[in-house]
Amino acid sequence: MKRIGLMKNTVQEYAWGSHTAIAELLGNGSPSKTPQAELWMGAHPKAPSMVKCDGNWISLLKLIEQNPGHLLGKKVAVKFNNRLPYLFKVLAAAKPLSIQAHPSVDQAKQGFEWENRQGIPLDAYNRNYKDDNHKPECICAMTRFRALNGFRKISSIFGLMEKICPKGLKKQLGALRGQQSPMALKNFFQSLMTMNHKQKTQIISHAVSNAKKFTDDDPAYRWMIDLHKQYPADVGVFSPILLNLICLEPGQAMFLPAGELHAYLDGVGIELMANSDNVLRGGLTPKHIDVPELLNVLNFEERKVNILKTEQINECERLYESHAEEFVLSIIHVREGITYNSSAHRSIEILLCTDGKATITDLEKNDTIVIEKGKSIIIPAVVKTYRIQGNAAFYKAAVPL
């Protein structure tokens, strides 16, 4: 494949998804009959995008296998073993996602190989590793987007917890008092995760009752109460107390490296990540939670969450700083009299149009595609340069070179 191609992508239907956000973006009937959580754009084996090629719809995974050099570019093909290194998504959360973390490359390889040797099916309930890759990710808000990301300072956790669990967790809080080491935080977190059901239920009930007295003191208590309504016996209701509570305004983005405990609470965002589906869960879910493996993966360092800086590349494109070698995200705006001309030094790119209508032209072949809101295209590395004209907004996924 040597031309720009229109894409057809899979919508993932998970219980926490929105009935309106993705349906309205794609121009489909809204509200949708089922909750639509994620739109996947990429070549993950679970749900590869289809690309229109010579009048036929062909799997992007198959196209890359047939000619990785043309699609990915020679350098990217060699570096990432002939695989598209990123997965591009629209994420629409009407309800909180599970508390989760993602493994490092080494942890993913070891975990995937070990579970394969044990004969655990890929779709088994107790399967942790779906592939052998890590999953650093970037989330960029399309609407106001609330999330939890990384552990708070231990002093903050202690202060918030002491108000609501002075008796139920007296011993655990006593061990945490005045501590600053990651090991102290790990021990405290492990004690929460391994409580027996009766103890857990009693402590959660008492803590939520106390939290109602302090809702004006900190939004973490309000979120704890809201989460308890949905997951009344789940230790994940403590997550707003343990983790940094973040609110991204539209256009703001943050990065999540391996090992950071996090959850998306609500909102619509563009998510760009390494091409993996590996998730270790820690609460707010009926799905499998492997506490020992989660503890092995997690980073217990206190973390301050930074909003990603952006760089204006030209009058059309704004690039988010990338902390990953697999992907980089940017936003492109074109309007009358302001056109976008791509760099000649580029990798495989996926563009999603989120507003308006534009034409995209391969300047060497003079091929033109018209694209409008909700449509996406793949631009192979072999396409030398292209131009975007019209009045439209795009999110672009690429591999940094």
Greatest CA separation for the chain = 72
Conformation bin of residue 366: beta by default, left when phi > 0, alpha when psi is -120 to 50: left
Tokens read off for 49: 């995008």
**In 3D, which of 305, 281, 347 has the Cα closest to residue 127?**
281
Is the four-CA dihedral 83, 84, 85, 89 of positive or negative sign?
A: negative
Residue 281 a catalytic site member: yes
Which amino acid would we find at residue 242? Answer: L
Rounded to whole angstroms, how far apart are CA atoms 63 and 348?
Answer: 13
DSSP 14-40: -TTBBSSHHHHHHT--SS-SS-B-EEE
Rounded to whole angstroms, how far apart are CA atoms 114 and 110?
Answer: 6
Name the percent of the chain in helix, strand, coil, to the closest 5: 25, 30, 40
Three-class secondary structure of residue 130 per DSSP = coil
Please list the alpha-helical segments (H only) found in 33-104: 60-66, 68-72, 74-79
**Alpha-carbon separation of residue 272 from 38, 90, 279, 399 (angstroms):** 12, 9, 15, 11
Give the chain's end-to-end CA distance (angstroms, integer).
Answer: 21
For 157, phi then psi, to 5°, come to -60, -45
Task: State the catalytic residue, choosing from 3, 146, 152, 281.
Answer: 281
Three-class secondary structure of residue 150 per DSSP = strand
- Residues with catalytic function: 281
